[in-house]
Structure 1
Amino acid sequence: MTRTVLLVDDDPHIREVLAFAFDKAGFEVRTAGDGEEALADVTRHKPDLVVLDINMPRMDGLEVCRRLRASDDVPVLFLSSRDDEFDRVLGIELGADDYVVKPFSPREVVARANAILRRSARSDAPAAQAGGATVEKGLLSLDTEGWLARWQGAEVALTVSEFNLVRALAGAPGRILSRDQLIDQLHGPGFAITDRTIDSHIRNIRRKFGDVGAHDVIETRAGVGYRLGTCNGVAKSGG
């Protein structure tokens, strides 16, 4: 089934270059020149992925992502300038799945988009098969086929990358995984993202679980990495 990507950038040249690359890769391509147009397009056409520039007039990409996450779980790939690491990290914390730094190769953008879509399994396929592969630890339950995380039966809405991080930690009970190991789990060996991206995802996961009273889902080992917590609902001081 043909996947649809929405390209959002106020630079028509960037839209044109990316549209060509995605079209060549077999995507149906839609474009928007600003944030307001992008939000309207997502509502009307429900793309499989949004490629979103951070720095745009009228409504920047961060605000677009914030509004999308209030009502939609469509995967988001940010386009970011080299000098705005704070914005990139904030974008991840708002729920973006990944980012590419400008100047970029159109092939890299398409490759990262494909990686997000492979991880997301957003297809209409039988998430219906839910109930097959379930990982449980304490009060935490992960439905790995339905891509659902639950705490005491209540769903916790995670992005694709967040879900994969929790699943990676749950798949290594008792082990501490370094940031490099977690990057490999998300993207494969040699994928160029920073440690801060992993840290931002972890903060986001903790916040979301904290909102439902879960404060012991992930433990930090300073200077080493992260591991799955006890998941019994009791925060461990200093963890």
Structure 2
Amino acid sequence: MECNEGFIDRAEVARLASARTFLVVDDDDEIRELLCDYLSESGDRVLAAASGSEMWQQLAREPVDLVVLDVMLPGEDGLSLCRQLQAKPGLSVIMLSAKGTAFDRIIGLEVGADDYLAKPFEPRELLARIKAVLRRSARADAAAEQRPDLPQRFAGYRLDPVKRLLTAADGTACTLPRSDFRVLRELLAAPDQVLTREHLTRSAMGRDYTADDRSIDMCISRLRQLLKAAPQGEVQILTVRNEGYLLSLGAADARH
């Protein structure tokens, strides 16, 4: 369902033509309606869903720029849904939760959320975070577009930047989540060079790094699993203590 229903004038039609589209997913009717009404006031189009199944139905109907996703939902929870949303290119996610501890925030970021907001919160804070996430995403996308879209080959692997598809020498293929793809592209652009977590977070995630943010570490862990099929020593992502990560495409590097 769409939140902002009713008759609109021509000026409103023109404004909506250039508006972004948000999807609010929350099973609390009062919170969902409040957020829909507030976000609609900024001139953006806002859709609503009360469950994961309704969310997928909305996403199947039309493209969405950002999903505001509650963690506690009937059926499949928001964390699981957020993981699945990573396969959708260009889609940002802000998680909402009544749990506001640092651990809960870390989990939300690790599954791919662009930001995490604890309940209760002021709607204006959510709007500010939405704007910040979209700005960061636009910067990251612009940086990615400056690189050629030709497939990259390394150590028997083939990376298709258009489909975000990583194919091994044996033909096994995997579509990378957006964050993992961006991290791998950053590493491939600077082989045998140490890239700090701060750099990778800004370049791949489009946000500033914080000490409790383990998103890059989780991306690296997943990429290491995917690259295990390479002959020993041909490609490794090494941890350089107190510095960051290094992609080695030759013999094993001793700095780990």
Q: Same fold (TM over 0.5)?
A: yes
Mean Cα displacement is larger for which, 5-14 or 130-139? 130-139
Instruction: Tell me by how many angstroms 1:191 deviates.
Output: 5.8
Instruction: Tell me by how many angstroms 1:67 deviates.
Output: 5.3
Instruction: Tell me by how many angstroms 1:197 deviates.
Output: 1.9
Which residue pairs with 2:130 in the alignment? 109
Instruction: Tell me by how many angstroms 1:11 deviates.
Output: 3.8
Deviations along 1:48-106, one digit per CA (max 9) or x if unpaired, are 4322121334432023235556xx52535141445354454444554x24222324712
Which residue pairs with 2:218 in the alignment? 200
**Aligned mate of 1:79, from 95, 111, 120:** 95
- Secondary structure of the residue that 2:72 maps to in structure 1? coil
Instruction: Tell me by how many angstroms 1:41 deviates.
Output: 2.4
- Secondary structure of the residue that 2:194 maps to in structure 1? coil
How far apart, CA to CA, are the structure 1 residues paired with 2:48 and 2:114? 19
Which residue pairs with 1:38 in the alignment? 55
TM-score (norm 2): 0.66
- Answer yes or no: is the 8 Å Cα contact 2:24–2:68 preserved in 1: yes
Matched residue type, 1:47: V
- Answer yes or no: is the 8 Å Cα contact 1:176–1:224 preserved in 2: yes
Q: RMSD of the TM alignment (CA)?
A: 3.9
**Aligned mate of 2:176, from 158, 162, 177:** 158
Instruction: Tell me by how many angstroms 1:227 deviates.
Output: 1.4
Matched residue type, 2:137: I
Q: 1:221 to 1:192 in 2, by over 3 A?
A: closer
TM-score (norm 1): 0.70
How far apart, CA to CA, are the structure 2 residues paired with 1:139 and 1:25? 49
- Secondary structure of the residue that 1:47 maps to in structure 2? coil
Matched residue type, 2:131: V
- Answer yes or no: is the 8 Å Cα contact 2:102–2:212 preserved in 1: no
Instruction: Tell me by how many angstroms 1:223 deviates.
Output: 2.8
- Answer yes or no: is the 8 Å Cα contact 2:194–2:244 preserved in 1: yes
Instruction: Tell me by how many angstroms 1:8 deviates.
Output: 1.0
**Aligned mate of 2:164, from 134, 139, 148:** 148
Please list every run of 5 or more consecutive structure 2 residues that lacks an aligned counterpart in the other structure: 1-17
Instruction: Tell me by how many angstroms 1:30 deviates.
Output: 0.8
**Aligned mate of 1:6, from 19, 23, 28:** 23
> Percent of pairs identical after alignment?
29
Q: 1:162 to 1:132 in 2, by over 3 A?
A: closer
Which residue pairs with 2:244 in the alignment? 225
Q: 1:27 to 1:219 in 2, by over 3 A?
A: farther
Instruction: Tell me by how many angstroms 1:159 deviates.
Output: 1.7
Q: 1:19 to 1:117 in 2, by over 3 A?
A: farther
- Secondary structure of the residue that 1:195 maps to in structure 2? coil
Q: Which has the larger radius of gyration?
A: 2
- Answer yes or no: is the 8 Å Cα contact 1:97–1:160 preserved in 2: no
Matched residue type, 1:35: G
Q: 1:135 to 1:18 in 2, by over 3 A?
A: farther
- Secondary structure of the residue that 1:115 maps to in structure 2? helix
- Secondary structure of the residue that 2:195 maps to in structure 1? coil
Q: 1:67 to 1:19 in 2, by over 3 A?
A: same
Work out the number of aligned pairs and report it: 224
- Secondary structure of the residue that 2:166 maps to in structure 1? strand
Instruction: Tell me by how many angstroms 1:112 deviates.
Output: 0.7
Which residue pairs with 2:3 in the alignment? none
Please list every run of 5 or more consecutive structure 1 residues that lacks an aligned counterpart in the other structure: 122-126
Which residue pairs with 1:100 in the alignment? 116
Instruction: Tell me by how many angstroms 1:204 deviates.
Output: 2.8
